[in-house]
Structure 1
């Protein structure tokens, strides 16, 4: 596979309304680069070369009023991402898929 220091081209797929990389004339390039690989990270890939983002913990909680309903949101910190890339998700959906994030430790008082 690729090693640190190798140079690679990235395949670009244009989307509607998105600006094109280095557009020259009528046709946009299909690849951009070359870019040097500066570092490599360990990522667990599935057999089809995809990977699943796993949440690490819940950073924050808030409520949002939408059309008279209260939506409970949680800010999720994802594996292999920093705090600046955390996302706000609907609490019920995250609880259904990742119940371990909501296991509260009960402290007994005597």
Structure 2
């Protein structure tokens, strides 16, 4: 399928299946009319049964009906709710701590990695929650005060 532009991608990387859509009606013994989104307005909505695939139920596809609290300008603030995981990145002369944070109105799969120092400054209540490991707290407190000194190393020192 070289040179064919299919659903926004060209060539071998074009998707073979683009999503799951509701069947509106059966048109004859081997054709179905699907409810396509407005982005596919140029695609004919009747498909042969050989092109369609059976939908396999996945609980991750279930959408929640809980809507976020919107402000007057129809925006909302994404607040971290829970710390899921910790990781330390060893750089040349210091260690950077990251935490995986689940945001409100998002699932655990959509959690993001944030710098621990920035999250601690902006949202200290996350570190006072039940289930927070105090051993990691002590490690963080001992490492926070040590700022690496930058030294000139090489044959040309002043």
User: Would you call these one fold, judging by a TM-score over 0.5?
Assistant: yes
How much does 1:46 deviate? 1.4
Alignment-derived partner of residue 111 in structure 2: 86
How much does 1:43 deviate? 1.2
Partners of 1:39 and 1:75 lie apart in 2 by 22
Alignment-derived partner of residue 128 in structure 2: 103
Structure that is richer in helix per residue: 2
Partners of 1:82 and 1:39 lie apart in 2 by 10
Identify which of structures 1 and 2 has the higher relative contact order when contacts are C-alpha pairs closer than 8 Å and 6+ apart.
1
- Which secondary structure does the structure 1 equivalent of 2:101 belong to? strand
- Shift in CA distance, 39/83, structure 1 to aligned 2, threshold 3 Å: closer
From 74, 85, 90, the counterpart of 2:99: 74
How much does 1:66 deviate? 2.6
Q: Deviations over 1:31-65 (max 9, x none)?
A: 8357xxx8754111112111111111101111002
How much does 1:103 deviate? 1.2
Please, what is the CA RMSD of the aligned residues?
Answer: 2.5
Alignment-derived partner of residue 28 in structure 1: none
Q: What TM-score comes out, normalization by structure 2 length?
A: 0.41
Alignment-derived partner of residue 55 in structure 1: 80
Point out where structure 1 has 5 or more consecutive residues left out of the alignment.
Answer: 1-20, 24-30, 106-110
Q: What TM-score comes out, normalization by structure 1 length?
A: 0.57
Structure that is richer in strand per residue: 1
Bigger CA radius of gyration? 2
Alignment length, in residue pairs? 75
What is the correspondence of 1:23-34 to structure 2 with a 5 Å cutoff? Answer: 32=39
Point out where structure 2 has 5 or more consecutive residues left out of the alignment.
Answer: 1-6, 10-37, 42-62, 131-158
Q: Deviations over 1:8-36 (max 9, x none)?
A: xxxxxxxxxxxxx748xxxxxxx8357xx
Partners of 1:77 and 1:85 lie apart in 2 by 7
